[in-house]
Amino acid sequence: MPASKIIGTGHYLPPKVVTNFDVMEMMETTDEFIVERTGVRQRHHAEPDVSATDLAVPACEAAVKDAGIEMSDVDMLIMNTITPDHADPGCGFFLQPKLGLTDIPVLDIRQQCTGLIYGISIADKFIADGTCRNVLVVCAEVLSKRIDGSYDGRNISILLGDGAGAAVVGRADDDSNGIVSTILHADGSGAKNLYTAAPGTALGRTEHIMAEDIEAGRVHFRMNGKEVFQNGVSRMSAAVLESLEANGLSLDDIDVLIPHQANLRMLEKIVEKLGVAQNKVFVNVERYGNMASACLPVALDQARKTEFIKPGNRVMLVAFGSGFVWASALMQA
């Protein structure tokens, strides 16, 4: 019997829509290039005074309302972001008082684009051992504040969007629905294929950050696009197949596949590699771009609210991110 299930979801997108033609004003690129390489046509960007926790609040409130509980019923908060409000302490501590929560445990995780799956896996364990009844998992990103339009940075900057998504994980009430299994993996040998070098303590000096870090671009994302693309396709495909094997299922048994919305071309390759029917795959990357960890919970909420996911469906979540880290989750709706 599943120990837990997702009992509520919510998301929030900042109102400002940024098209590829707007991106052309930020850097040297074209609409044709962006669409051809990524499939992205627009994304949402937050205003300058908006932080990750500002986006997280309405997403969390929507998820709690959808779960049919009160915010006071939440007894653990898990937050994932790579765009925190401040360098430290963890971003969840800044979110907690905005939600009116006190005295409950707050856990920050840095699992990049797999944050939702890692978060619900952690929540599942706390619920299974009786420690918690309702765990709120939220992923929020303000990636527009990390855009670098230089030659070295634009391969990832053309993708970036802002948003937040949340899920409430509660107790499963019977065998008919719930979180069936989660598959978690990481391989740090690929970490420098997508990373930000500074600030950091591995730079061989006593200074935490220097002007030359900005001048050299060390404060910005740097991505080896070929390695990230190839690993994203192979790792996400493998995580789906591993979950199927672990649960004695085939692709025909999966009703809905929701992948991390990294890049439309990556998703097309995964669909081709797996041989899954396109009408089973939820895709929204063309409208929202790559929102890192926020992609998956936003997509999950939209799939639930539009009835792309129907009661009784077997749903597979799968994601891949920098680290490298990849994961899948099988759920019965």
Cα–Cα distance for residue pair 279/282, rounded to 1 Å: 8
Active site residues: 113
Task: Name the region of 112 (left: φ>0; alpha: ψ -120 to 50; beta: rest).
Answer: left
pLDDT of residue 1: 64
Burial class from Cβ neighbours inside 10 Å (0-12, 13-18, 19+) for residue 32 reads exposed
Specify the pLDDT at position 175.
73
For residue 173, what pLDDT is reported?
Answer: 84
Task: Work out the average pLDDT over 76-85.
Answer: 98
- Do residues 116 and 10 touch, judged by C-beta distance below 8 A? no
pLDDT of residue 177: 85
| Average pLDDT score over the chain | 97
The one-letter amino acid at 96: Q
Say if residue 2's pLDDT is above 90: no
**CA–CA separation, 32 and 46 (whole Å):** 24
Arithmetic mean of pLDDT, 59-64: 98
Cα angle value 292/150/27 (rounded, 5°) = 85
Residue 222, class by beta-carbon neighbours within 10 Å (0-12 exposed, 13-18 middle, 19+ buried)? middle
How large is the average pLDDT for residues 156-182? 94
How distant is the alpha carbon of residue 79 from its chain centre? 11
The closest of 139, 157, 158, 183 to 298, measured between CA atoms, is: 139
pLDDT one-digit tens code per residue, 86-134: 999 999 999 999 999 999 999 999 999 999 999 999 999 999 999 999 9
pLDDT at residue 333 in the model: 92
Across residues 227-237, what is the average pLDDT? 98
How much is the CA Rg of the chain, to the nearest whole Å? 19
- Nearest to 226, CA basis, from 278, 263, 178, 184: 263
Residue 323 to residue 185: CA distance in whole angstroms: 10
Residues 266-323 have pLDDT tens digits of 999 999 999 999 999 999 999 999 999 999 999 999 999 999 999 999 999 999 999 9
Nearest to 134 by CA among 189, 221, 220, 72: 72
Distance CA 301, CA 62 (A): 10
CATH number of the 4-171 domain: 3.40.47.10
Instruction: Give the model's pLDDT for residue 4.
Output: 96
% of the chain beyond a pLDDT of 90: 98
Stretch 204-224: mean pLDDT: 95
The predicted-structure confidence for 252-266, as pLDDT tens digits, reads as follows: 999 999 999 999 999
Residues whose CB falls within 8 Å of the CB of residue 241, separated by 6 or more in sequence, listed in order: 274
Query: Where, residue-wise, is CATH 3.40.47.10 in the chain?
Result: 4-171, 178-332
Sign of the dihedral defined by the CA atoms of residues 56, 186, 243, 132, in that order: negative
User: What CATH number does the domain located at 178-332 have?
Assistant: 3.40.47.10
Question: 204 in the Ramachandran plot: left (φ > 0), alpha (ψ -120 to 50) or beta?
Answer: left
Q: What is the mean pLDDT of residues 72-76?
A: 98
Do the beta carbons of residue 40 and residue 261 sit within 8 Å?
no
